[in-house]
Chain A
């Protein structure tokens, strides 16, 4: 009654500044409720919903740009655009910060929180339940099958160690992430030597940008092509491991199918 906080009302003009909140909001917001998303939302390398984002306006992320849209709610990442976010709060705009997901299991709770924030609890709940169900089915499907040794080799010889969303995705797909075995945490450098001696059975690689770079040339290094046992290189959509979204679950399901096929010795798409 009296204690009802003023922001409990359903926000009518929502602006999102973070590629992860962009996607959660696009999934849940009522038509017209989400006014603008970040420019990254349209980049297929970062956003799994790049085509959906075309239907929304994008902001530069600058405070004046955002303020002009007269938002009654701004969605931000925990660390992104801190200056803009503080400025907007000083101007009296309500801001909700979302921590970036480091586990695929965060998807259900993130969806529910977004539902509460946007006043769309029913939509969010349905999605969250569906995602949890898919993850449970996935866990049941991979249970008991021998883990296939996999590693993610990103451009510039980076890999996803323990504590990353990619590591969680790899585990959810039933693989054993060698990077975690090598005691690598977060996003860490994986020198080619250690990749070779780690003897992965499956190599996960990023989708390439159109134009060449030295960073991506590492993926074509003769030592990578000559890896012992010639592990198949499977392209992973990087955007699926940036934010925990339905695309992350779909990617885990896709990888799990490949892993099961590998384990059965059926062979699969080669490099």
Chain B
């Protein structure tokens, strides 16, 4: 199934889908700006087009960029976590990384810390994410017990969710309690270039670190002992996977809330197309994650434009049935 020749083709196809969805994201909005008008306002606004340019540049462009970058982070982190833990369920959402990042961001935002200290928002989200990864990796142990990872993840994510709700319910600002949904389900509504500037640098560094694990993940498919004999430094891979995930997912969550299922679904969908090699899965999964998140954010805007539907609702609607299918096919394979 995975002839080498088709792999570049697959990546090209995924990249094209991402490009189309990115353009669709730019051209979708409540105010019905035409394709030509929108694109010309984005690059060279004609006199009298300033308002359209403002909509394109300050409202739609950051939303599309964050959709792309957040999806890329989640897809890539999911592929790396699944490869490193050799666990098909390892995913930023399920193992609690997104939830803990959300809690970090909530603490920074609602205490006002993010207002006084620049970068406190992503820093706290990163810290939350890092603590969650550390916990899960520690509990999983050197051999990465499949069940233990998931149990630890469930514990971490429910605790983080509870702490998010508690913090927001206790905030003296009455709006805060309504924002529990944002932090637990994620949204790209009303994001701005400020959010892009806050999150993008961390995400890019995170992607770099995650990409560096590719070769080692290939060796790890042979088992840890074989990988070590092939020269893989386990401590280094572990550190790259941990810090890379914390940076990418932490920064994404700081500005878009916790978005589940992307990191789970995408690697599983693409693995049959790229073969068993994790190094090939990483770029494909990154592009696939970006495509899925951009598509989900388009769905949010097209299905119920005035309802401010949360992204996690759409990704769960896609992800949960997929999850069931994963379990069933696993049962069929083992029975």
Contact = CB atoms under 8 A, between A and B. Distances in A.
A221 interface: yes
Contact of B172 (A156, A211, A218, A221): A211
A210 B58 CA distance: 27
Contacts of B176: 211, 213
Contacts of A193: 29-31, 55, 59-60
Interface residues of B, number: 32
Contacts of A223: 54-55, 58-59, 192
A228 B173 CA distance: 31
B190 A210 contact: no
B306 interface: yes
Interface in B52-76: 52, 54-55, 58-60
A97 interface: no
B330 interface: no
Contacts of B269: none
B30 A194 contact: yes
A221 B173 CA distance: 19
Nearest to A189: B306
Contact of B112 (A156, A212, A216, A228): A212
B225 interface: no
A196 interface: yes
A92 interface: no
Interface string B29-66: 11100000000000000000011101100111000000
B110 A213 contact: yes
A87 B22 CA distance: 57
B175 A155 contact: yes
B114 interface: yes
Nearest to B112: A212
Contacts of A132: none
A45 B190 CA distance: 25
A211 B171 contact: yes
B231 interface: no
Contact of A213 (B50, B52, B55, B175): B175
Contacts of B52: 197
Given A188-B306, A196-B55, A223-B55, 10 more contacts: A189-B306, A191-B30, A193-B55, A196-B59, A197-B51, A211-B176, A212-B173, A221-B190, A222-B193, A226-B58
